[in-house]
């Protein structure tokens, strides 16, 4: 009896192995397990900021979010949709302890399903991602309008869309109507927020923006941006001088070198003086805004908040960071 049972089990195993081997040839398929991909991985939280005429006449778009993937899933390739005419600043991962970004190499391919989009792929080393780009959808010289559309290959659990109002803009309108409005006191920007919530994979959300703006200059000048970058500790490229050979004239070459040094020193002193003035004006506001963002999801914290109102994580207490568990 035991021999017969053992023989039956062996025959069952052999039959199953034959099905596995012959299945593909017969038009069928047998799969042991399917590895998780970035397209199968949903985005847990996502914030999309749309900044028209911020430091450039175009629209700056800043996106940051968190994948709902375990730590063991990384490194993980992920693909995002960007406008086909987008100028990419960076595709990056985020270090939530330092609030810094780590730029990563990426690949851009046209979207075969929709010519409006490019598919940008890069490999994340953790669940937190960040990317930003410029593009030009704005129509009009004074009466301005544009439509911003966001599309995600992955399902999004909680999507927050923010549109920044240019400093010199009037009669600023959004369709649909914003859910809430907040003001950045450090730079006096007003942000109009749309709590979109869930967004299915492949679906789109669009917002129509219109406003009146007589001054064509962006909200922040290049000089103001340099001051902000300097205060934030971002390295700037220093201009370098290329020494020319003597011309052989009657005036010695060292005279021109000395004269050039004096001129450069004067210009440097003037630039330094103006930068110091701008620094004194911007420093208090920037210092007030430092540390006012959640280190878990990046949301701006309310004054005196001990927990993030967006994701519920503990905020900074003094100079210590409360230990958090990724969920």
pLDDT of 194 reads 97
pLDDT of 186 reads 83
Task: Provide DSSP, 51-94.
Answer: EETSSSSSEEEEEEEEE---GGG-SEEEEEEEETT-EEEEEEEE
pLDDT of 325 reads 35
The per-residue pLDDT for range 225-246, each reduced to its tens digit, is 666 655 555 443 333 223 333 3
Whole-number mean pLDDT of the chain? 74
- The more confident residue out of 259 and 21 is 259
pLDDT class of 95 with cuts at 50, 70, 90 = confident
Of 12, 24, 47, 75, residue with least CA distance to 196:
47
Which of 83-87, 117-121, 257-261 has the least mean pLDDT? 257-261
pLDDT of 276 reads 57
- The more confident residue out of 159 and 250 is 159
Asked whether the predicted pLDDT for residue 216 surpasses 60, the reply is yes
pLDDT class of 222 with cuts at 50, 70, 90 = confident
Asked whether the predicted pLDDT for residue 128 surpasses 80, the reply is yes
pLDDT class of 305 with cuts at 50, 70, 90 = low
Distance, in Å, from the CA atom of 305 to the CA atom of 311, rounded to the nearest integer, reads 13
Decide: 157 and 68 in contact? Cβ < 8 Å. yes
The per-residue pLDDT for range 258-278, each reduced to its tens digit, is 555 554 555 555 555 555 555
pLDDT of 16 reads 45
Question: Which helix H or strand E contains 145, and what residues bound it?
Answer: strand 143-151
- The more confident residue out of 41 and 23 is 41
pLDDT of 272 reads 57
- The more confident residue out of 257 and 325 is 257
3-class DSSP assignment, residue 223 = helix
Say if domain 43-212 classifies as CATH 3.40.50.300.
no
Beta-bridge partners for 48: 63, 161
pLDDT of 209 reads 98
- Please state, for a pLDDT cut of 90, what percent of the chain lies above it: 50
Question: Which helix H or strand E contains 184, and what residues bound it?
Answer: strand 180-184
Q: Which of 39-53, 108-122, 229-243 has the highest mean pLDDT?
A: 108-122
Q: Which of 86-95, 96-105, 262-271 has the highest mean pLDDT?
A: 86-95
Chain CA centroid to CA 72, Å = 23
- Please state, for a pLDDT cut of 70, what percent of the chain lies above it: 56
């Amino acid at each position: 009896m035991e021999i017969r049972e053992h023989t039956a089990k062996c025959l069952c195993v052999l039959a199953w192995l034959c099905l596995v081997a012959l299945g593909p040839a017969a038009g069928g398929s047998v799969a042991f397990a399917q590895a998780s991909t970035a397209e199968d991985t949903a985005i847990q939280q996502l914030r999309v900021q749309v900044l028209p005429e911020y430091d450039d006449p175009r629209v700056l778009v800043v996106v940051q979010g968190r994948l709902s993937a375990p730590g063991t899933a990384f490194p993980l390739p992920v693909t995002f949709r960007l406008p086909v005419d987008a100028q990419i600043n960076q595709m990056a991962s985020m270090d939530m302890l330092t609030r810094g970004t780590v730029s990563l190499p990426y690949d851009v391919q046209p979207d075969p399903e929709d010519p409006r989009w490019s598919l940008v792929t890069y490999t994340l080393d953790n669940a937190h991602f960040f990317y930003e780009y410029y593009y030009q959808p704005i129509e009009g010289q004074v009466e301005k309008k544009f439509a911003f559309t966001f599309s995600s290959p992955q399902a999004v659990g909680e999507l927050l869309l923010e549109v920044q109002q240019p400093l010199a803009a009037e009669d600023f309108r959004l369709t649909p109507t914003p859910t809430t409005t907040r003001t950045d006191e450090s730079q006096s920007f007003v942000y109009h927020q749309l709590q979109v919530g869930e967004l299915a994979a492949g679906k789109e959300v669009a917002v129509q923006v219109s406003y009146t703006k007589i001054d064509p200059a962006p909200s922040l000048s290049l000089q103001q941006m340099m001051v902000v970058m300097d205060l934030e500790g971002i390295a700037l490229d220093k201009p370098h001088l290329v020494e020319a050979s003597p011309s052989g004239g009657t005036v010695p070459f060292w005279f021109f070198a000395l004269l050039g040094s004096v001129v450069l020193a004067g210009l440097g002193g003037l630039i330094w003086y103006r930068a110091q003035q701008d620094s004194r004006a911007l420093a208090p506001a920037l210092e007030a805004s430092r540390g006012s963002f959640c280190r878990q999801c990046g949301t701006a914290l309310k004054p005196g908040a001990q927990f993030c109102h967006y994701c519920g994580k503990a905020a900074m207490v003094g100079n210590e960071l409360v230990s958090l568990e990724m969920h």
